[in-house]
């Protein structure tokens, strides 16, 4: 079913209005990062946190410096990066599949990454290997989903969607089997916690490894954003317009999948962001991807930063951040649907 | 005078029996027990002959301690230690790991299934559909351990052995308390038990935290209420606590190593790291921090790690050997069990 | 010659019967060619082959003298413009952004339309007299306006030929005439035009050439007067169709006889 979503009554922003929006979000994100650095369960004043951040560390204990620089900063940067990655990935999937209801796990990537991580937990591997397995699982799921249409000699969008459904279902079965094999008193809880999403275990080293895998595909997607608009015209139209649909689609989906896999491998499965933030971006900046993708990146980074900061400060036990994004996402999505109820067909 | 002393002895025995027995069979004519889920079960007429099955690994030490391994037809053991230690278990079959395979259980047709308390669906299915009694056990703290020993002792006609084990346990914990009483308050150390992932710790209601306190430590997680589950408090909270000693559980695989933790610059300022006081509680194949009879060993180990001058490595090794001799009639090398008191 | 199609044969993998069978068609400069036929005779299939979207089993299609099999999508799109039958918009792009997509044949993978493309898009909108709709969301304009926007998109890169797939299919009576007028004007401005249509009257209005597809997948081609005869129409459409000269408008018109 193809959904039509009209834009808000406001016409797409002209260049200076869009620029103003982008700068505003960038400022909010920067402010959010600074605020997040100052917040946490470890007792350190906001002023001292800021001084440490700015390199003025005399008078601060080594422990305090470690908390700010080695615990909070990597986690904050990871949450911003993952929020941006999932939002951009979601927007790209929605554009390529011409469906605003699509989310980044459409090709079974999240399920595949969950399977990879679960295998790592089952084998009692350390965090780094669990992340690696998660990444590999996501990529494997994507390759499977994209190879089925090639094998069946039908490269249409609908075939790709069906492949994604098949791969996702298959991966969910495998995950269920792994949960069955797991030690119910220890490993099962770890697998379940991982699938709910958390930034608790992000290290600086992981961040450094993952950052290029996020930033490079994101740069590629920003560069080719206009072609995602062309793809959203439909396969025949896009080809008639001159697009090498197979190549452009593969490149776009490949980059989006890398973003999703990288996000899942450091933070587990976090839902709703890839679905909701693109909608917010379209409401603010219109559907053209050259405007949508950068704005979605900033808005997604900000949203995820806020969600993770809440989960790590609000209670003694850290709630998985995926629960909070779901709890915030569901009513927000209902509100979006309510706003657009007359235009959804 | 003699009559007076005899009277005192009787009172003393009665009081000891009362202290080790907390409602395991009270009021039901002696033939029934109240299991860990509160259900009343009638003890079998010929308890020495009934076959025992279980999928609950926590039950294995209790079965072993009470000398019931010869009656086991199907069991789930966490490691090969149990089959190495007691050849009677090596020949046992299996009816599942954690969850019961109903048809396998039916084919084994045991006289009783020993299971965990928080699984009423399995209890109903096994008892209702197969007519096999289910004896549930809850083992979360020291009181539970005692209760379970006495209750199982009564059910299987091993009251005397249960009493022996209870006495051994209480004796060990009394010894530990006496040593701890010697430690001045100013020397007390702050400690916590880390779980399988960094940032996941044993909550205040878990036996691991009780063990730390029993061993004279100040458990930094004592205020964490998490329904007797591992709590994900995050690394920052642990940094806030800044414990002097960190114990890591051996009841679950760890996704970190002590060496990596010691080398991690983020953790370098923590007192436990500076003190080089990060210990994985032994033993890999027979975890001493799992709720059970070996919790006494785990507590002694913690006492040694936190206060080595009050409880030396030699004393600990002697207790370890005594425990295994008491439980299995033999000792095991530290290499086999997987610990090194020199570190 | 813009298109030279010789002995074109095409069948779908799931079908035994060929859809197009030894089909011949030429489209010259400034030609208007109306392709008519019953449902399912392959009009859209032929159009898709002419756009390079489908690969025929045999025969040849020369587009501006080059074999279309040796051209990639970009090369084909630089010569052709395409107005699809319908477009269901998933997202409310602005009309100008929609029209700019017609410049895809000259935009690199990591590029976006620049000033030159924007000027061309504005010019195309002006040519269709819808420049005031530039910033409006595509999803908020009428059917006739959407068709004009689609035409603007097709001509923005100044193609040699514009192909229309049933351009009047979902339009009201007035909008149909408007679109036909625009098509006629395009031809007069130097574009070659190929349209598929169910309505012989539209072919008559446009004049130029006609190609009538029969059930065997072949074409009867010629001028509109040669092809659109009562006999041909009755045979192809299996209907009692009359061609009558209407004095007041000085042209032949196609009418049904009574129901």
More confident residue, B218 or B198: B218
Band the pLDDT of B102: cuts 50, 70, 90. Answer: confident
CB-based contact, A4 to chain C, within 8 Å: yes
Residues of A in contact with C110 (CB under 8 A): 220, 223-224
More confident residue, B13 or C37: C37
What's chain B's average pLDDT?
87
For the record, the structure tokens of A306 come out as 């806020």
pLDDT for A1 beyond 50 = no
Name the E strands within B39-174: 40-42, 52-54, 72-74, 112-116, 134-137
Q: Best mutation site among B234, B263, B265 for testing chain A: the one with the most A CBs within 10 Å?
A: B234
Band the pLDDT of B223: cuts 50, 70, 90. Answer: confident
pLDDT of residue C14: 78
pLDDT of residue A14: 60
- Which residue of chain B is at minimal alpha-carbon distance from A189? B230
Distance from CA of A161 to the nearest CA of C (A): 16
Chains C and B touch (3+ CB pairs under 8 A): no
pLDDT of residue B18: 44
pLDDT digits (tens, 9 = 90+) for C81-139: 999 987 777 888 999 999 999 999 999 999 999 999 999 999 999 988 899 999 999 98
With a CB cutoff of 8 Å and minimum separation 6, the contacts of C11 are C17, C18, C19, C20, C57
* Plot region of C219 (φ>0 → left; ψ -120 to 50 → alpha; else → beta): beta
Give the pairing type, strands C209-213 and C219-223.
antiparallel
Dist CA B125 CA B100 (whole Å): 10
pLDDT for A10 beyond 60 = no
Residues of C in contact with A230 (CB under 8 A): 101, 104
Residues of A in contact with B221 (CB under 8 A): none
pLDDT for B227 beyond 70 = no
Query: Closest partner residue to A41 among B98, B234, B242, by Cβ?
Result: B234
Distance from CA of B74 to the nearest CA of A (A): 18
Band the pLDDT of B118: cuts 50, 70, 90. Answer: confident
pLDDT of residue A185: 65
The answer to whether the Cβ–Cβ distance between C82 and A237 falls below 8 Å is yes
| b/e C106-127 (16+ beta carbons within 10 angstroms → b) | bbeeeebbeeebeebbbbbbeb
Q: Best mutation site among A316, A319, A322, A323 for testing chain B: the one with the most B CBs within 10 Å?
A: A316
From the list B283, B263, B273, the residue with the least C-alpha distance to B340 is: B283
Question: Which DSSP state fits B197?
Answer: S
Residues of A in contact with C111 (CB under 8 A): 226
Which whole number is the average pLDDT over A281-304? 95
pLDDT of residue A33: 94
Dist CA A174 CA A140 (whole Å): 13
* Among A74-78, C236-240, C254-258, the range of highest mean pLDDT: A74-78
From the list A186, A147, A182, the residue with the least C-alpha distance to A163 is: A147
pLDDT of residue B2: 55
Dist CA C180 CA C195 (whole Å): 10
Query: Closest partner residue to A239 among C73, C87, C137, by Cβ?
Result: C73
pLDDT for C171 beyond 90 = no
With a CB cutoff of 8 Å and minimum separation 6, the contacts of C210 are C33, C34, C35, C36, C203, C221, C222, C223, C224, C226, C227, C228
Residue B34 β-bridge partners? B40
Dist CA C254 CA A40 (whole Å): 80
pLDDT of residue B84: 86
Q: Is C67 helix (H, G, I), strand (E, B) or coil?
A: strand
pLDDT of residue A3: 36
Neighbours of chain B (3+ CB pairs under 8 A): A
Residues of A in contact with C153 (CB under 8 A): 241
pTM here is 0.82
Residues of A in contact with B234 (CB under 8 A): 41, 200, 312, 318
Band the pLDDT of B27: cuts 50, 70, 90. Answer: very low
pLDDT for B19 beyond 50 = no
Query: Closest partner residue to A12 among C52, C105, C135, by Cβ?
Result: C135
Band the pLDDT of B306: cuts 50, 70, 90. Answer: very high
Dist CA A286 CA A91 (whole Å): 12
What stretch of H or E contains B336?
helix B334-337
| Cβ–Cβ < 8 Å for C240, C254 | no
pLDDT digits (tens, 9 = 90+) for A96-120: 988 887 877 777 888 888 899 889 8
pLDDT digits (tens, 9 = 90+) for C29-67: 999 999 998 888 888 899 999 999 999 998 999 999 999
pLDDT cut 70: percent of chain A above it: 93
Residues of B in contact with A124 (CB under 8 A): 253-255
pLDDT for B15 beyond 70 = no
pLDDT for A8 beyond 50 = no
pLDDT for A142 beyond 90 = no
pLDDT for A345 beyond 80 = no
Residues making up chain B, counted from first to last = 343
Give the pairing type, strands C3-10 and C192-197.
unpaired
* Plot region of C242 (φ>0 → left; ψ -120 to 50 → alpha; else → beta): beta
Distance from CA of A138 to the nearest CA of C (A): 26
Distance from CA of A290 to the nearest CA of C (A): 8
Cα torsion B149, B155, B160, B164 to 10°: value is -10
Residue with the two structure tokens 């349209």: C195
Band the pLDDT of C230: cuts 50, 70, 90. Answer: confident
What is the number of alpha carbons within 13 Å of residue A30 lying toward its C-beta?
6
What's chain A's average pLDDT?
86
Sign of the Cα torsion A296, A301, A306, A308 reads: positive
Cα maximum dimension of chain B: 71
Query: Closest partner residue to A190 among B197, B234, B270, by Cβ?
Result: B197
Residue C246 β-bridge partners? C251
pLDDT of residue B302: 97
Which whole number is the average pLDDT over B243-263? 89
Burial of C61 (0-12, 13-18, 19+ CB in 10 A): buried
| Cβ–Cβ < 8 Å for B214, B299 | yes
| Cβ–Cβ < 8 Å for A135, A111 | no
pLDDT for A342 beyond 80 = no
Which whole number is the average pLDDT over A320-341? 83
Which whole number is the average pLDDT over B240-250? 94
pLDDT of residue B343: 59
Dist CA C104 CA A230 (whole Å): 8
pLDDT of residue C246: 84
């Amino acid at each position: 079913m193809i959904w039509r979503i009209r834009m808000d009554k406001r016409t797409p922003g002209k260049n200076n209005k869009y620029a103003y929006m982008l700068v505003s979000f960038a400022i909010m994100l920067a402010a959010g990062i600074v605020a997040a650095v100052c917040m946490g369960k470890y007792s350190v004043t906001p002023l001292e946190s800021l001084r440490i951040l700015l390199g003025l560390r005399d008078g601060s204990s080594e422990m305090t410096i470690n908390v700010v620089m080695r615990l909070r900063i990597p986690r904050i940067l990871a949450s911003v990066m993952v929020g941006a990655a999932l939002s951009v990935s979601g927007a790209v999937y929605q554009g390529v599949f011409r469906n605003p209801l699509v989310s980044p796990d459409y090709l079974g990537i999240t399920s595949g990454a969950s399977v990879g991580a679960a295998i790592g937990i089952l084998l009692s591997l350390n965090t780094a290997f669990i992340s690696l397995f998660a990444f590999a699982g996501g990529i494997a799921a994507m390759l499977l989903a994209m190879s089925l249409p090639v094998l069946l000699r039908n490269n249409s969008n609908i075939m790709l969607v069906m492949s994604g459904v098949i791969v996702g279902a298959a991966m969910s079965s495998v995950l269920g089997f792994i949960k069955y094999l797991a030690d119910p008193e220890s490993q099962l809880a770890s697998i379940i916690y991982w699938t709910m999403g958390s930034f608790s275990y992000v290290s600086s080293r992981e961040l450094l490894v993952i950052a290029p895998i996020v930033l490079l595909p994101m740069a590629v997607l920003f560069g080719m954003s206009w072609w995602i608009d062309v793809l959203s015209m439909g396969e025949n139209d896009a080809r008639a317009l001159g697009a090498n649909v197979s190549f452009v689609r593969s490149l776009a989906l490949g980059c989006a999948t890398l973003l999703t896999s990288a996000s899942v491998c450091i933070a587990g499965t976090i839902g709703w962001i890839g679905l909701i933030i693109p909608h917010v971006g379209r409401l603010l900046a219109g559907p053209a991807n050259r405007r949508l993708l950068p704005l979605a990146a900033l808005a997604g980074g900000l949203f995820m930063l806020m969600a993770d900061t809440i989960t790590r400060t609000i209670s003694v036990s850290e709630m998985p951040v995926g629960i909070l994004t779901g709890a915030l996402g569901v009513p927000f999505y209902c509100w979006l649907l309510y706003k657009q109820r007359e235009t959804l067909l | 005078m003699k009559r007076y002393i005899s009277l005192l002895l009787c009172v003393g025995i009665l009081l000891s029996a009362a202290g080790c027995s907390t409602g395991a069979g009270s009021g039901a004519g002696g033939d029934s027990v109240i299991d860990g889920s509160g259900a009343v079960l009638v003890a079998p007429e010929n308890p020495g002959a009934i076959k025992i099955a279980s999928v609950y690994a926590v039950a294995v030490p209790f079965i072993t301690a009470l000398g019931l391994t010869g009656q086991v037809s199907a069991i789930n053991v966490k490691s090969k230690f149990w089959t190495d230690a007691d050849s009677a278990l090596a020949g046992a079959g299996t009816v599942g790991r954690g969850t019961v395979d109903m048809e396998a259980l039916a084919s084994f047709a045991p006289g009783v299934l020993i299971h965990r308390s928080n699984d009423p669906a399995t209890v109903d299915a096994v008892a209702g559909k197969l007519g096999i009694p289910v004896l549930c056990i809850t083992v979360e703290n020291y009181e539970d351990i005692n209760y379970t020993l006495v209750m199982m002792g009564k059910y299987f006609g091993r009251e005397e052995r249960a009493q022996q084990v209870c006495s051994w346990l209480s004796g060990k914990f009394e010894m530990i308390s006496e040593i701890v009483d010697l430690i001045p308050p100013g020397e007390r150390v702050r400690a916590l038990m880390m779980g399988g992932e960094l940032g996941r710790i044993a909550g205040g209601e878990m036996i691991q935290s009780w063990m730390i306190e029993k061993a004279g430590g100040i458990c930094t997680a004592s205020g964490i209420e998490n329904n007797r589950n591992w709590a994900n408090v995050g690394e920052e909270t642990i940094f806030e606590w800044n414990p002097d000693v960190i114990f890591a559980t051996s009841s679950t695989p760890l996704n970190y190593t002590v060496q990596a933790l010691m080398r991690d610059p983020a953790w370098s300022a923590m007192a436990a790291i500076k003190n080089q006081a990060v210990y994985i509680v032994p033993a890999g194949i027979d975890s001493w921090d799992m709720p059970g009879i070996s919790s006494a060993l785990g507590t002694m180990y913690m006492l040694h790690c936190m206060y080595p001058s009050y409880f030396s490595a030699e004393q600990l090794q002697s207790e370890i050997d005594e425990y295994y001799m008491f439980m299995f009639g033999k000792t095991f090398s530290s290499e086999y069990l997987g610990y090194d008191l020199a570190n | 010659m813009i298109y030279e199609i010789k002995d074109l044969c095409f069948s779908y993998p799931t079908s035994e019967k060929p859809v197009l069978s030894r089909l011949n068609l030429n489209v010259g400069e400034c030609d208007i060619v109306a392709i008519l036929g019953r449902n399912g005779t392959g009009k859209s299939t032929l159009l898709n082959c002419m756009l390079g979207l489908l690969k025929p089993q045999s025969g040849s299609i020369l587009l501006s003298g080059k074999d279309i099999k040796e051209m990639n999508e970009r090369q084909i799109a630089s010569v052709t413009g395409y107005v699809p039958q319908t477009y269901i918009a998933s997202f409310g792009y602005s009309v100008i952004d929609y029209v700019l997509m017609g410049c895809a044949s000259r935009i690199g993978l990591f590029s976006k339309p620049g000033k030159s493309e924007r000027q061309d898009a504005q010019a195309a909108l002006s040519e269709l007299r819808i420049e005031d709709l530039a910033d409006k969301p595509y999803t908020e304009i009428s059917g006739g306006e959407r068709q004009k926007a689609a035409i603007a998109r097709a001509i923005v890169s100044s193609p040699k030929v514009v192909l229309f797939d049933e351009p009047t299919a979902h339009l009201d009576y007035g909008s149909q005439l408007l679109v036909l007028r625009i098509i006629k004007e395009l031809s007069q401005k130097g574009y070659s035009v190929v349209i598929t249509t169910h309505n012989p009257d539209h072919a008559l209005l446009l004049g130029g050439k006609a190609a009538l597809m029969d059930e065997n997948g072949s074409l009867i081609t010629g001028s509109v007067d040669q092809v659109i005869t009562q006999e041909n129409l009755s045979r192809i459409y299996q209907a009692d169709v009359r061609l009558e000269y209407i004095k007041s408008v000085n042209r032949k018109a196609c009418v049904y006889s009574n129901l």
